[in-house]
Amino acid sequence: MTASRYDLVTVGGGMGASAIARAMAGRGAKVLILEQEQRFHDRVRGEYICPWGVAEAKELGIFELLRGNCAGELPWADLGFGPRNLIETTPQQLPGLSFSHPEMQEALMAAAEAAGAEVRRGVAVQGIECGEQPIVLAGAKGRTERIPARLVVAADGRGSPARKWAGFSVEKNMQPFLFAGVLLTGVAARQDMGVFIFNPDLGTLGALIPQNKGGYRAYFGYPTTADYRLQGGDKLGLLFSESAKVAPLFAEFYASAKSAGPLASVDGGDVWVNHHYRNGVALLGDAASTSDPSFGQGMSLTLRDARVLRDQLLANADWDHAGHAYAEQHDAYFRNCHTSTVWFRQVFQEQSPAAALRRQKALPLIAEDLTRVPDHIFSGPEMPLDDSVRSRFFGES
Ligand SMILES: Cc1cc2nc3c(=O)[nH]c(=O)nc-3n(C[C@H](O)[C@H](O)[C@H](O)COP(=O)(O)OP(=O)(O)OC[C@H]3O[C@@H](n4cnc5c(N)ncnc54)[C@H](O)[C@@H]3O)c2cc1C
């Protein structure tokens, strides 16, 4: 067996890969990041981290780094019930954080490099061979290099081919909704508040997230049965007019708004791998579990993965054991994220006679007492999630 030059090789150089690479390189591990993009650009991806994910950023030591380079704090959130102060009302006592996704990726990758990780860009991974000493097949300039490692961390995002190369099977719970996003300028809205509002009658969701340099990300969730697809710049007016039907305040927000990036729709639903470690390969971030973007949990989960994997690798000399322990922990917190967001869909967005009946029971009680709504999205997967929480939310008790 060839001795590997690297303790850890990451497939991908997004948030998840750079966060674990920085954490482990900073502890003396030999780390290599392989990223296919020479330069990051807007892919219509997340930029809002909820307070529980901000707590993970703090644990990983990247909170100040993000704030200093690309991120702004959003202490307020409006879910259609009026402004809520997240610092005062979450167990973490933290704000949300928002940034341009490509700027965040550049900042984290530079931080991983500064911590000692080697970064190779423009390198597309083409395969992984699992085993006691896993091997990454890295392609660049028409050549394929075999790179052995002690551990391969596959963090190649939603649709990850690495899952297949490493022999994992994928579970899916797709929902009949699409989620469109576009970057805007000229929006007339607060700079310190994220807005996330469902219109249960229409099955739609409008969201607006300020970024720190005056830009805003507008999102619009809609049923797959709609007779349109929000894809391409010519659909911007339609995104504005449909958002205004969610709640009139979106019409005010977008009165003078202009597009500053691509407009794209993605599928709603969760895709995940159960027990996502095997034979020297650990999945991380969206590759491990792509959570429904409508609920903005993806980056919090990604940072949680990086922190849990870091802790396991530092605590165990046997990294095979560490990988299995990481996978077990992930299954538990991802399951809770999944369950709580499925409940949200059933109460706030599903379009069916059963859902209408559900809402008749639940919504009047929620209007009287907002604590009936589970707070996992902001406060994290450790919040209670038992039958009594469900009954209160669904208005069955
Ligand atoms: C429309 C939309 C909105 C979202 N909004 C939010 C939000 O508001 N809040 C939130 O928390 N989450 C949100 N998310 C989810 C969030 O974007 C992801 O959870 C997060 O980006 C996952 O990070 P990652 O590092 O796992 O993957 P990615 O960010 O996808 O990074 C993967 C990296 O791997 C590279 N790569 C892929 N294949 C290879 C290969 N073969 N070789 C080398 N490199 C490779 C890619 O170029 C990329 O840089 C949203 C997602 C979508 C689609």
Q: 311-339 pLDDT, tens per residue?
A: 999 999 999 999 999 999 999 999 999 99
Distance in Å, CA 266 to ligand 1 centroid: 12
pLDDT digits (tens, 9 = 90+) for 265-304: 999 999 999 999 999 999 999 999 999 999 999 999 999 9
Query: In this structure, what token pair is assigned to residue 14?
Result: 């997004």
Does 15 sit in the ligand 1 pocket, CB within 6 Å? yes
Query: In this structure, what token pair is assigned to residue 295?
Result: 């609920």
Give the mean pLDDT of 210-214: 87
The DSSP 8-state label assigned to residue 166 in this structure reads: T
The DSSP 8-state label assigned to residue 4 in this structure reads: P
Backbone angles phi, psi at 206, to 5 degrees: -115, 140
33: three-class secondary structure by DSSP: strand
58 — alpha (psi -120 to 50), left (phi > 0) or beta?
alpha
Residues 6+ apart with CB under 8 A from 142: none
The residue whose CB lies within 8 Å of the most ligand 1 atoms, and thus the one to mutate among 20, 36, 178, 281, is 36
Average pLDDT of every residue of the chain:
96
One-letter amino acid of 387: D
pLDDT on residue 254: 98
pLDDT band at 1 (very low <50, low <70, confident <90, very high): very low
pLDDT digits (tens, 9 = 90+) for 302-312: 999 999 999 99
Q: How far is CA 395 from CA 79, 200, 254, in A?
A: 19, 16, 35
Q: Is the pTM of this model over 0.75?
A: yes
pLDDT on residue 387: 97
Pairing relation of β-strands 118-121 and 31-35?
parallel
Give the mean pLDDT of 253-258: 98
Distance in Å, CA 267 to ligand 1 centroid: 14
Rounded to whole angstroms, how far apart are CA atoms 223 and 345?
11
Query: What residue spans of 79-152 are helical by DSSP H?
Result: 86-89, 101-114
pLDDT band at 3 (very low <50, low <70, confident <90, very high): low
Rounded to whole angstroms, how far apart are CA atoms 237 and 23?
43
